């Protein structure tokens, strides 16, 4: 029986005829994605190779080593997750949480709430402490919460993309060790751009993304786990409740065994490898200093325009600035007009800060003085026009 004979008629309802790809050129100064370094997107314009090809295995080793450098950790279990930042976020909880574990989450923005949601899906006993969006937790507040909740895992957001606040982490790792607790940190908006010392700070698990400080498209997301965190995973009574993100399987692919788990996003690996190489070429401290300097230029320029920042300077992230929307100004009208008339993307406020702030990102490749000039000039023009 020929296949052709038995075929039903083809349904052409969705046979659209799209035109050639035509992507507008945007300056992405919102909460992310940020623009990529042109060398990074060019790196993807290559044929894939097999995920077990000896040449690919070499790339994997290089990517792992460079992530360790940028995060300042010696954790062997440092690898990119095959998805965007939220997948790496979920990987930390999926692997470390067993049903019933107490997970204490610090909520001072949108991503704290997401950690609560995710941890609950892995059947953690989720507890939380909260601060108004834009504030950070003191070591004393964290100690009091540890004393009350005695968690197995403390989860904090180092760089809250929704608020622009930087959570200081000095001393938190020691506190966690004192309470026999793992420390889990969100570095999505800080990796590569803001000083991070995972080992020095005693961080056990961290995740990030590719499309901010690393100047790479989204789709390959740094993940790391300390020996202490791996020991907890290895004592699990149940399988990790997520196959794709199961580190107990993935470590056999990323480690010496090189056992096939899932097909890697090969061209994204080309991209993040190039992105990490460029951070090393610049030097980590030089990248941090550049981000700080460019941000200060933005803050000074905003002040000259009479615009204030939501977060006190001491805790303000250089990567993401929340700018107070003046009374009577329609925040969304400004962002829409910035995109439509100037091809510049800046972000609206999220959650508690919706309508109250704009979010201006200066991350990775985009952290350059000329971009500060461009965004300030465009904002002045748009605000005069609306």
State which of positions 34-53 bind a copy of itself (CB under 8 A).
35-36, 41-51, 53
Q: Are 120 and 126 in contact (CB under 8 A)?
A: yes
Which one of the spans 33-41, 125-133, 140-148, 174-182 is the region binding a copy of itself (CB under 8 A)?
Answer: 33-41
Near a copy of itself in 290-329, by CB under 8 A: 292
Q: How far is the CB of 138 from a copy of itself (least distance, A)?
A: 15
Cα–Cα distance measured from residue 33 to residue 215, given in angstroms and rounded to the nearest whole number: 9
The span of 84-92, 127-135, 136-144, 373-381 binding a copy of itself (CB under 8 A) equals 84-92
How many residues of this chain interact with a copy of itself, rule: CB under 8 A?
95
Q: Which residues have a Cβ under 8 Å from the Cβ of 42 and sit 6 or more positions away?
A: none
Q: Does 83 help bind a copy of itself (rule: CB under 8 A)?
A: yes
The residue (of 179 and 343) whose beta carbon lies closer to a copy of itself is 343
In the bound state with a copy of itself, the residue whose beta carbon lies nearer, of 44 and 145, is: 44
Which two tokens mark 338?
Answer: 């910035």
Encoded one letter per residue, x for contact with a copy of itself by CB under 8 A and - for no contact, window 194-213 reads -x-x-xx--------x-x--
Q: Is the dihedral of CA 251, 257, 260, 264 positive or negative?
A: positive
Rounded Cα–Cα distance for residues 40 and 21 (Å): 20
Specify the residue, 11 or 140, whose C-beta has the smaller distance to a copy of itself: 11
14: contact with a copy of itself by CB under 8 A: yes
Applying CB under 8 A, among 5, 23, 234, 237 the residue interacting with a copy of itself is 23
Minimal distance, residue 273 CB to a copy of itself, in Å: 7
Burial of 310 (0-12, 13-18, 19+ CB in 10 A): buried
156 vs 216, beta carbon nearer a copy of itself: 216
Report residue 249 as tokens. Answer: 């399987």
Q: How far is the CB of 182 from a copy of itself (least distance, A)?
A: 19
How many angstroms separate the first and last alpha carbons of the chain? 69
Contact between 368 and a copy of itself by CB under 8 A: the answer reads no
| Region for residue 98 given its phi and psi (left: phi exceeds 0; alpha: psi -120 to 50; beta: otherwise) | beta
CA-to-CA distance for 48 and 266, rounded, in angstroms? 6
- When asked if residue 30 is in the footprint of a copy of itself (CB under 8 A), the reply is yes
Binding to a copy of itself (CB under 8 A) within 88-107 occurs at 90
Q: Which residues make Cβ contacts (< 8 Å) with residue 150, sequence separation at least 6?
A: 102, 179, 181
Pick one of 57, 135, 228, 244: the residue that binds a copy of itself (CB under 8 A): 244
Rounded to whole angstroms, the Cα distance separating 142 from 159 reads 17
Out of 151, 173, 218, 364, the residue judged to bind a copy of itself by CB under 8 A: 218
Residue 360's DSSP bridge partners are 321
Q: List strand residue ranges (DSSP E) for 2-62, in order.
A: 27-28
Q: How far is the CB of 215 from a copy of itself (least distance, A)?
A: 10
Q: Which is nearer to a copy of itself, 195 or 301 (CB)?
A: 195
Q: Which is nearer to a copy of itself, 53 or 148 (CB)?
A: 53
Instruction: Please identify which residue in 345, 349, 358, 371 interacts with a copy of itself, judged by CB under 8 A.
Output: 345
Cα 318 to Cα 366: distance, rounded to the nearest angstrom: 12
How far, in Å, CA of 92 to CA of 238, rounded?
16
Instruction: State yes or no: residue 363 binds a copy of itself (CB under 8 A).
Output: no
Contact positions with a copy of itself (CB under 8 A) in 256-295: 261-268, 270-271, 273-274, 277, 280, 284-285, 288-289, 292
Nearer Cβ to a copy of itself (200/304): 200
Q: Let me know if 113 is exposed, middle or buried by CB neighbors in 10 A (0-12, 13-18, 19+).
A: middle
Strand partners, 321: 360
What DSSP designation does 365 have? G
359 annotated among ligand-binding-site residues: yes
Q: Which is nearer to a copy of itself, 15 or 147 (CB)?
A: 15
Q: CB of 242: closest distance to a copy of itself in angstroms?
A: 6
The torsion region of residue 202 among left (phi > 0), alpha (psi -120 to 50) and beta comes to left
Residues 111-140 that bind a copy of itself (CB under 8 A): 114, 117-118, 120-122
Q: What angle do CA 67, 73, 74 make, to 5 degrees?
A: 100
**Binding-site annotation, residues:** 359
**Binding-site annotation, residues for substrate:** 359
């Amino acid at each position: 029986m020929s296949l052709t004979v038995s075929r039903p008629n083809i349904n052409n309802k969705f046979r659209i005829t799209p035109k050639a790809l035509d992507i507008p050129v945007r300056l992405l100064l919102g909460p992310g994605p940020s623009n990529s370094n042109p060398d990074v997107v060019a790196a993807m314009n290559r044929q894939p190779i097999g995920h077990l090809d000896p040449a690919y295995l070499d790339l994997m080793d290089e990517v792992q080593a460079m992530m360790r450098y940028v995060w300042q950790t010696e954790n062997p279990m440092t690898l990119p997750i095959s998805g965007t930042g939220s997948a790496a976020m979920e990987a930390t909880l999926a692997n470390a949480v067993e049903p019933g574990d107490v997970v204490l989450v610090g909520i001072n923005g949108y991503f704290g709430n997401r950690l609560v949601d995710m941890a609950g899906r892995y059947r953690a006993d989720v507890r939380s402490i909260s601060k108004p969006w834009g504030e950070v937790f003191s070591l004393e507040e964290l100690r009091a919460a540890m004393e009350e909740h005695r968690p197995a895992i403390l989860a904090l957001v180092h760089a809250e993309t929704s608020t622009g606040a930087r959570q200081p982490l000095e001393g938190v790792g020691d506190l966690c060790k004192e309470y026999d607790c793992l420390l889990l940190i969100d570095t999505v908006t800080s990796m590569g751009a803001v000083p991070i010392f995972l080992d020095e700070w005693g961080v056990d698990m961290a995740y990030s993304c590719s499309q901010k400080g690393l100047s790479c498209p989204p789709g390959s997301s740094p993940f790391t786990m300390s020996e202490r965190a791996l020991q907890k995973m290895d004592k699990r009574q149940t399988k990790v409740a997520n196959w794709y993100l199961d580190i107990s399987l993935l470590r056999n692919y990323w480690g010496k065994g090189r056992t096939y788990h899932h097909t890697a996003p090969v061209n994204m690996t080309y991209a993040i490898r190039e992105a990490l190489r460029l951070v090393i070429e610049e030097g980590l401290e030089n990248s941090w200093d550049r981000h700080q300097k460019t941000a200060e230029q933005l803050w000074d320029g905003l002040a000259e325009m009479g615009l204030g920042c939501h977060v006190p300077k001491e805790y303000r992230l250089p990567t993401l600035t929340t700018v107070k929307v003046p009374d009577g100004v329609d925040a969304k009208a400004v962002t829409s007009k910035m995109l439509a008339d100037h091809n510049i993307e800046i972000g609206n406020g999220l959650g508690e800060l919706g309508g109250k702030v704009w979010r201006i990102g200066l991350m990775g490749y985009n952290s350059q003085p000329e971009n500060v000039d461009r965004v300030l000039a465009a904002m002045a023009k748009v605000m005069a026009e609306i």
